[in-house]
């Protein structure tokens, strides 16, 4: 069988721990036998980030800008324990945070739906796509420990040196403060990418924030969404028979749980971070949630929504077999192939991406799956496989699908 050729390289961002192990298995078993793979490789493993003073993360993000499509493995965001574990020079920032602030845009997370893995929420029939704003707020905040009595103010100084100030709090004793920001440019592109994605997927769009309490900050998001809808998308949405719906975040969570699914749920950065883990878990497993960062400039970065699965990795290091689920990481690769193929006019690559997804779903639906799914499946005779055997099953199925086509 001739291997599928690629015109333009994918930006490949390798990562950490168990997902780094899966990354190699996926390449060896599911990609290299079928595709004449072209990538520009960046090692975002924590050790290499430390060696390069985190330069590699910035270089990788810039490469994503150059080539347009990247695929990323999960990476460790260091905390104090990791600084000790890896003997780090610094507590490096979250690579995802760094990449997002360079590419801007919105993270869309979609659960992989398979027969036999039923959502915990009985009413959910269709996927809920989570759209998380990927810039600013608490992720780019300045924070301060307030040691004791005193007044804390927000001060803005314009280019001419004029100032405007707002008292945050008159402290009587110690406490904490946080100052966060966002940019009109980023909120506009967030709104536009949400409307564009919803139209593309023919799904309703919901947006929720806390504008009743945050009368300037969250309200501003709400007004921008309204403006973009009325001026740019209303007609198209009506033509497609889809709708835009704004509601308060607390009303939204209540409605989401009673809904059938089948819509894009847009959220601010923090709400999107938290709610996407909740929605992913409620759809069955965090390991079945895919994630793509769509920048307003047309760059795409695909990854799994979960982390490096540290607990499994420590078992793997002790020589134990682990049954870590590679689905979301496989779908990161397939998503990247489909987008690369679409951009390059390479239908064979698009088709390969779809077949890789089909083969993976077929294997699960045939009753062979990793432990996280085996423990919750409604299929009668499910078999729990370790990661390697599961990936080999996918390879066998993929070989059949490729031969048939
Ligand atoms: P995690 O890696 O997502 O894993 C949390 C737990 O969820 C696991 O212990 C496992 O549960 C289950 N799980 C997640 N993915 C799974 C999979 N593919 N197959 C089977 N089970 C899976 O989150 P974490 O342990 O909080 O974080 C570990 C590291 O990942 C941290 O250093 C964090 O900074 C990093 N992180 C990176 C990203 C990213 O790069 N996008 C995102 C989040 C976290 P059981 O142990 O019960 O089996
Ligand atoms: Mg998170």
On whether the CB atoms of residues 138 and 397 are closer than 8 A, the answer is: no
* Ligand 1 proximity of 324 Cβ (cutoff 6 Å): yes
How many angstroms separate the CA atoms of 360 and 68, rounded?
A: 26
Can you read off the two tokens belonging to residue 228?
């973009």
Cα–ligand 1 centroid distance for 308 (angstroms): 5
How many angstroms separate the CA atoms of 216 and 213, rounded?
A: 9
> Which residue's structure tokens are 């460790």?
76
For ligand 1, mutation pick of 84, 111, 309, 386 (most atoms within 8 Å of CB):
309
DSSP string computed for 190-212: HHHHHHHHHHHHT-EEEEEE-TT
How many angstroms separate the CA atoms of 219 and 225, rounded?
A: 10
How many angstroms separate the CA atoms of 60 and 151, rounded?
A: 42
How many angstroms separate the CA atoms of 263 and 387, rounded?
A: 32
Q: How many other C-beta atoms are found inside a 10 Å radius of the C-beta of residue 347?
A: 10
pLDDT of residue 285: 81
Cα–ligand 1 centroid distance for 227 (angstroms): 38
Kindly give, in sequence order, each residue whose CB lies less than 8 Å from that of residue 274, ignoring residues fewer than 6 positions away: none
Provide the 8-state DSSP code for 35.
B
Q: What is the mean pLDDT of the chain?
A: 95
How many angstroms separate the CA atoms of 149 and 146, rounded?
A: 8
On whether the CB atoms of residues 328 and 81 are closer than 8 A, the answer is: no
pLDDT of residue 294: 85
| Per-residue tens of pLDDT for the chain, all 405 residues | 789 999 999 999 999 999 999 999 999 999 999 999 999 999 999 999 999 999 999 999 999 999 999 999 999 999 999 999 999 999 999 999 899 889 877 889 999 999 999 899 999 999 999 999 988 999 889 999 999 999 999 999 999 999 999 999 999 999 999 999 999 999 999 999 999 889 988 999 999 999 999 999 999 999 999 999 999 999 999 999 999 999 999 999 999 999 999 999 999 999 998 998 899 889 888 889 999 998 877 899 999 989 999 999 999 999 999 999 999 999 999 999 999 999 999 999 999 999 999 999 999 999 999 999 999 999 999 999 999 999 999 999 999 999 998
How many angstroms separate the CA atoms of 148 and 170, rounded?
A: 10
Query: What are the distances in angstroms from CA 57 to CA 50, 296, 330?
Result: 10, 20, 22
Kindly give, in sequence order, each residue whose CB lies less than 8 Å from that of residue 331, ignoring residues fewer than 6 positions away: 112, 290, 302, 304, 357, 360
Whether the full predicted model's pTM is greater than 0.75, yes or no, is yes
Cα–ligand 2 centroid distance for 277 (angstroms): 6
Residue 39: beta bridge partners?
10
* Ligand 1 proximity of 314 Cβ (cutoff 6 Å): no
* Ligand 1 proximity of 117 Cβ (cutoff 6 Å): no
Cα–ligand 1 centroid distance for 144 (angstroms): 30
Task: Please report the atom of ligand 1 found closest to the CA of residue 372.
Answer: 20
* Ligand 1 proximity of 75 Cβ (cutoff 6 Å): yes
């Amino acid at each position: 069988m001739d291997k599928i050729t690629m015109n333009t390289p994918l930006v490949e961002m390798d990562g950490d721990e168990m997902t780094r192990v899966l990354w190699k298995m996926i390449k060896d078993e599911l990609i290299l036998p079928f595709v004449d793979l072209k990538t520009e490789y960046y090692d975002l493993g924590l050790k290499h980030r430390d060696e390069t003073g985190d330069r590699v993360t910035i270089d990788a993000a810039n490469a994503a800008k150059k080539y347009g499509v990247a695929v990323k493995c999960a990476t460790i965001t260091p905390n104090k324990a990791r600084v000790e574990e890896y003997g780090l020079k610094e507590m490096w920032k979250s690579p995802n945070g760094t990449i997002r602030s360079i590419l801007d845009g919105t993270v869309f997370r979609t659960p992989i739906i398979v027969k036999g893995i039923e959502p915990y929420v009985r009413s959910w029939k269709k996927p809920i796509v989570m759209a998380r704003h990927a810039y600013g707020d608490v992720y780019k905040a300045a924070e301060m420990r307030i040691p004791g009595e005193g007044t804390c103010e927000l001060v803005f100084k314009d280019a001419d040196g004029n100032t405007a100030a707002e008292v945050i709090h008159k402290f009587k004793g110690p406490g904490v403060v946080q100052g966060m920001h966002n940019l009109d440019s980023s909120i506009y592109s967030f709104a536009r990418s949400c409307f564009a994605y919803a139209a593309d997927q023919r799904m309703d769009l919901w947006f929720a924030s806390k504008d009743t309490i945050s009368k300037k900050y969250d309200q501003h998001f709400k007004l921008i969404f309204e403006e973009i809808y009325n001026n740019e998308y209303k007609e198209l949405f009506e033509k497609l028979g889809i709708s835009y719906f704004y509601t308060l975040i607390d009303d939204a969570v209540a409605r989401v749980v009673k809904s059938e699914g089948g819509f894009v749920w847009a959220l601010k950065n923090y709400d999107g971070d938290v709610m996407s883990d909740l929605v992913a878990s409620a759809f069955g497993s965090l390991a079945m949630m895919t994630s793509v960062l769509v920048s307003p400039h047309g760059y795409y970065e695909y990854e799994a929504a979960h982390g490096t699965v540290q607990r499994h990795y420590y078992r793997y290091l002790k020589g134990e077999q682990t049954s870590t689920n590679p689905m979301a990481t496989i779908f990161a690769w397939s998503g990247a192939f489909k987008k690369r193929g679409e951009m390059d006019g390479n239908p064979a690559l698009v088709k390969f991406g779809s077949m890789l997804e089909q083969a993976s779903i077929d294997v699960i639906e045939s009753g062979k799956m990793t432990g996280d799914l085996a423990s919750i499946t409604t299929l009668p005779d499910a078999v729990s496989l370790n990661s390697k055997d599961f990936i080999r099953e996918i390879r066998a199925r993929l070989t059949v699908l490729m031969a048939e086509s």
